[in-house]
Structure 1
Amino acid sequence: MSIESEVSLDGKKLTIAIKGRFDFGSHQAFREAYERFYKVPEAYVVDLKETTYIDSSALGMLLLLRDYAGGDESDVSVINCNADVRKILAISNFDKLFDIN
């Protein structure tokens, strides 16, 4: 498991890429991926292209990111989900809280 974050050149978008398992063991690294910037980006993108597994604690971490980003006013997208991850997000109604591509 690894988590990498990258800010766009204009500083308005933060992309967090998760590789491998996205589970409780990712909690600290995931939080650090978005909390370490003094300037809060306007948009967040969670890239799950190389994510092989997601569990309920990962869903909780996505909710914490959403709250950190501004709750209902936040701009958080989840992209590049494989079929299994997309199914878990849909069953959990996360498509109502996040822009999922």
Structure 2
Amino acid sequence: MAIQTRYEDDGQSLVLSVQGYFDFSLHKDFRQAYKGAEGVRRFVVDLRDTEYMDSSALGMLLLLREFAGDQGGEVILRHCSREVRKILEIANFQRLFQIED
């Protein structure tokens, strides 16, 4: 599976690690990875092993942001490669998400 999840901070944070290509082929798996998250306040998307992302990946991040917001939570994008960070900046995602190194 190209998406792995783990909880941190006593279940307060859910980390979704995306490996390889973050594109439409991961839509179902990405959504399933966070859908049942109860009591989570921080959704961290770890992009350390993400080689590429397309516009559908940006859409998936927006859906996660909406889901998190409905629960009073936040989304953090972490460990972006230079290429992925450039895609996020072109889309102005730094205005919508906290992006960490």
Write out aligned runs for 1:78-89 (5 A): 78-89=77-88
- Residue 26 in structure 1 maps to residue 26 in structure 2: yes
Q: After TM superposition, which residue ranges in structure 1, 4 or more long, deviate above 3 angstroms? A: none
Structure 1 residue runs without a partner (length 5+):
none
- Taking the aligned partners of 1:40 and 1:53, their CA distance within structure 2 comes to 30
Kept after mapping to 1: 8 A contact 2:40/2:73: no
Q: 8 Å contact 2:15–2:43 — kept in the other structure?
A: yes
Question: What CA distance in whole angstroms lies between the structure 2 residues aligned with 1:2 and 1:26?
Answer: 8
- TM-score norm. by structure 2 comes to 0.92
Name the residue aligned to 1:95: 94
- Cα distance in structure 2, aligned partners of 1:62 and 1:40: 19
Q: Distance in 1 between matches of 2:77 and 2:32?
A: 18
Gaps of 5+ in 2: none
Instruction: Give the residue type in structure 2 aligned to 1:16.
Output: L
In the alignment, the residues of structure 2 paired with residue 49 and residue 16 of structure 1 have an alpha-carbon distance, to the nearest angstrom, of: 11
Per the alignment, residue 74 of structure 2 pairs with 75
Report the Cα distance in structure 2 between the residues aligned to 1:40 and 1:34, rounded to whole angstroms. 11
Distance 1:9 1:74, change over 3 A: closer
> Can you list the C-alpha shifts for 1:11-60, whole angstroms capped at 9, x where unaligned?
100000000000000000000110133x1301010000000010000000
Equivalenced residue count is 99
